[in-house]
Structure 1
Amino acid sequence: MPLICRGHRNVYVGETIRSRVRIPLVVDSNEPEDIPERLRELGVEIEVRKIAPGDYVLGPVGIERKTLNDFFNSMVRKRLFEQVQRLRDAYPQPLVILEGDLAEISTFRSPQAILGALLVLETTERVPVLTTADKGQTALLLSILWKRQEKGAAEYGLRHKPKAMSLEQRQRFVVEGLPSIGETLARSLLERFGSVRAVFSASEEDLKKVPKIGDIKAAEIVRLSNAAYEGDQKHFDDETSDADS
């Protein structure tokens, strides 16, 4: 299926964004491994780390990748436009990649709802939607974007807090900073333990009771929560003692 790129005046893929000095394409650590592998094969300089919101970041461009199933499930759970709003708040140039065979839309329970949501994103929300056939084509699209980036593009914060978040959204935002925890797992953890503090204080055994939190994720969460800070530390009691003396 050919790659489709719908035109928008704010899309970061214009003729003027060629560059000799390129910043890395930042890839969220939760993305399938074959996409960053393919990006490396295509000569793209990448950096894999946790991103929230979005799945890929290139300067001011924040990109959310969704398969058709992801897109439909986000609609059913009424989270699609919340996710898009967070992307818009975090990055000057939000972009959605819809991955899959568009002919399959007719096989979903409510194809008209999917098409309606795409229409709203494009016309009302003014968020460009690019469609790709599969992960390989997604990697190809990202490589083209990376090779055409603007010289000296600034690297924006990768966990930029959107404006006017509710308490629930701020709590999820904090928990999403844990290793391999995205929005869905952050929500599940908070529903299970009831507070951010309780999530960070939970034992490995309790964490593993949450669906999709296996041994590795549980161990990583506990290790990070209990690890000493490795940066420079100021001991305020010591400073007070020095001042008194």
Structure 2
Amino acid sequence: MSLSVVVDDREPPAVAEAVRAHADVDAVASRRLASGDVVVGDVGIERKTLSDYVSTLLGRSAPDLYDQVRRLSEAHPHSYLLLEAELPADGDEGVPAAAVRGSAASITARFGTPVIPCSDLDRLVDMAVRLGRKHVEEPSTPALPNGSVTTLGAPTAKRMYGCIDGVGTDTAGRLYEAYPAVADAVAASPEELMRIDGVGPKRADAIYAAFRDGG
């Protein structure tokens, strides 16, 4: 399935170039967006480097992070905040790691907008395209063989879990029951993931890696 993607014209050129290079993208337009940095159909995506995320979280730069996410969630049926980095360790960017995880959990719970760490720009773009594709596919379309989730009406976090290779409908449901907030699943260790019925060592490692390697 080929997709059309819109990239905000204030984004660095490398963002549009990475989107254009993606195999599933048919067309890329660049224009000023009222909210978000990348739009794929009904999916609005806010891209943040770790520095940007922390600056807007702490009010070092405008607009406020929560206001940005609120506008994003109001403007698009489906919204995500993709972090062009890993979740930080204590001391990174001068903010406790727990504060970043807490804000990610708060954003997910308050706005239904998952915060997903994507390591680098290429993985971020790949995640954005995958999310956009999942929201426009018919439920019967097996484009991601091991990652189809029940329905497009399922909770956002549950649909996201279903995008992980090797995670089917049942496992996505159990993951969602254990971790309704994506940020909590991101923070879980493989050992903690293995406590979920049906998640063995290999699947736990795959889930753990997906949140750190862009899936």
Shorter-chain TM range is: 0.5 to 0.7
AA matched with 1:101: E
Query: If the length of structure 1 is used for normalisation, what is the TM-score?
Result: 0.49
Aligned partner of 2:51 among 69, 83, 101: 69
Which residue of 2 is the match for residue 26 of structure 1?
6
The answer on 1:41 being equivalent to 2:21 is yes
CA RMSD of aligned residues (A): 2.2
81-90 vs 33-42, which moves further: 33-42
Work out the CA distance in 2 between the residues paired with 1:54 and 1:91.
9
Query: Does 2:68 correspond to 1:83?
Result: yes
Confirm or deny: 8 A CA contact 1:38 1:139 kept in the other structure: yes
2:80 is aligned, of 95, 102, 108, to: 95
How many pairs were matched up? 132
Flag the structure with more relative contact order, 1 or 2, with Cα contacts below 8 A and sequence separation at least 6. Answer: 1
| 2:143 is equivalent to residue 143 of structure 1 | no
Contact 2:87 2:101 in 1 (8 A): no
Contact kept, 8 Å, 1:62 with 1:91, in 2: the verdict is yes
Instruction: Report the Cα offset of residue 100 of structure 1.
Output: 1.0
1:99 and 1:133 in contact (8 A); partners too: yes
State how 1:161-240 maps to structure 2 within 5 Å: none
Residue 149 of structure 1 and its aligned partner are, at CA, apart by 4.8
Q: What fraction of aligned residue pairs are identical, expressed as a percent?
A: 30
Contact persistence 1:105–1:114 (CA under 8 A): no
The structural deviation recorded for 1:69 is 0.7
Q: What is the CA–CA distance in structure 1 between the aligned matches of 2:125 and 2:3, rounded to whole Å?
A: 17
Partners of 2:18 and 2:121 within 8 A in 1? no
Shift in Å, 1:86: 0.8
Query: 2: distance between equivalents of 1:149 and 1:83?
Result: 22
Tell me if structure 1 keeps the 8 A contact 2:48–2:84.
yes
Letter in 2 for 1:135: L
